[in-house]
A and B are shown apart, each in its own frame.
Chain A
């Protein structure tokens, strides 16, 4: 067995509110793809940030090639040839690709002036090596999530990294893009690169990784070859208990149409969208990234201007010009972009949950906020959603992704909506929180709330939905029901081509 390229010994990390990592020992061997899995808050990202020089361990040591090192900052990590591709990309939108690749380590001519030509040429080389057709001079702004990720990987290659850490690399990618990423990852491994692959998606880890380690509550609870452990076992080790089926039993939606879109068109974005949403129904909205699903939700909220078409609620036409109109009509939206459009990270749990519904808590002639009622209502959500927080006044930036998402969901339903649009409700959320969120949504539907579920995870669509609309290029490409809700059917409509039987 080759010697460890990277080794951490007795790592402890404490941000001041109890240890996040407790005495973690881990060896990484050269040229392997090591899967690191664990629930949100298990400490995966913290461990990786220590390796990337973003955090310093409270105790313990890191060894590179057998030598103890201190990774004081990301520059030190770069010098040690360790690169991190973060979940939220670290790219500057206004700069072209090649500038981003060489950001902080620009190539210069002898005179000190930037050597743009060399940087472009080198970037072109690297992109070619990755088999990516991308212009080095394209601006980041116009790139898709997958392309941005390639730029991040390019960045790692530009510095001859030996260790590449990928944090949840597939959350923003479509199925095809994921395949490309996998092929690339294997190619890098064959060239001697060591890859740490952090993911919630156990199937991917099983599929891709040579070895898998499981973190639970800051401790390493499993370490072994991927071949020797099944997906179910992985999940159980992550959660520390037996798991039932992750999806609850589907309910029986009513016949009554609650919400309807008729011929909705937004120039260049949506084309003649019509559908009906019934009482208590979970209607899936599937499709590739960029097919117009989130844009449809934003149109319902009045954030995009329709050129044609109408929305109807209980048979009456709605005048939706701004989000407040949608809320008034009993429509609520859970954003896919949790930190960008869903929650305010510097606000407390309480203030987030009641942000939309605040009017309901305003009492008396002066319309003052009734803080006691507000608190007790939010406490109710914390209890029923099992939101892990030591206080209702805790700022959301201190909560894990899964708990943030639960707060976001509580916020969406605190307006007592009759139509709930949930956009990627389990993105970046661990298995047990995922299960809980599925149960909540299922319960809401059983109570008669109609849900529009937007998701890129086919399993989620198949496991949760009574009916599925598949979008492609801003149009509804197909509607699936009952037994026809299958992965093949969804992908067929989403892409317009029949997938090859065995790829």
Chain B
């Protein structure tokens, strides 16, 4: 037995056979599950957008989405308009929520005027929410967020998510205690210039009472993730400033 399995020919044949079997198995699994997975991702986007504008099932401490069964219905009910902004031009697109921000970023190659920016307008209890999807880099991998703003660019709600931040540290950006700190924060400074929200340590405001300081309290042990989140807010939300300036004129 051992002689047979030691020969080079057997080794090569085994390797080839293994690759074919495993490859076929994975390809089969991936392609047969793909439609279900895509559907789940679409529903998740709807849930994220609704979460940011306050349509969620949060209990006292944890963040909970509306269930996937009702997400499409609620999405149609609350989201009144889906816009795509490109170089000052605003157009409507009912599939804007499916846009892949990563791809859009790559296509624009850093040229802000080429970038297609989706923006969702939601109405709830007589209030208008402007929800922008943004994307950036954390410590290990991508981080992204849906930020709901009012027309003065004051944050009304935020949902953060990440691909691979450290559990218990950077991954806590999707915990309520971090996300809720953003509610009420101003993105503009007192002169109306865009400043973003910094994520800082020792800002002497751990309970986040001061909403106009453009700062929220950082998570201990997650400095780089926090910096990534701040950079994402500063970089991506700044692109929406011209739209909001127009809105108020």
A and B are partners in one complex rather than unrelated chains = no
Interface residues of A (CB under 8 A from B): none
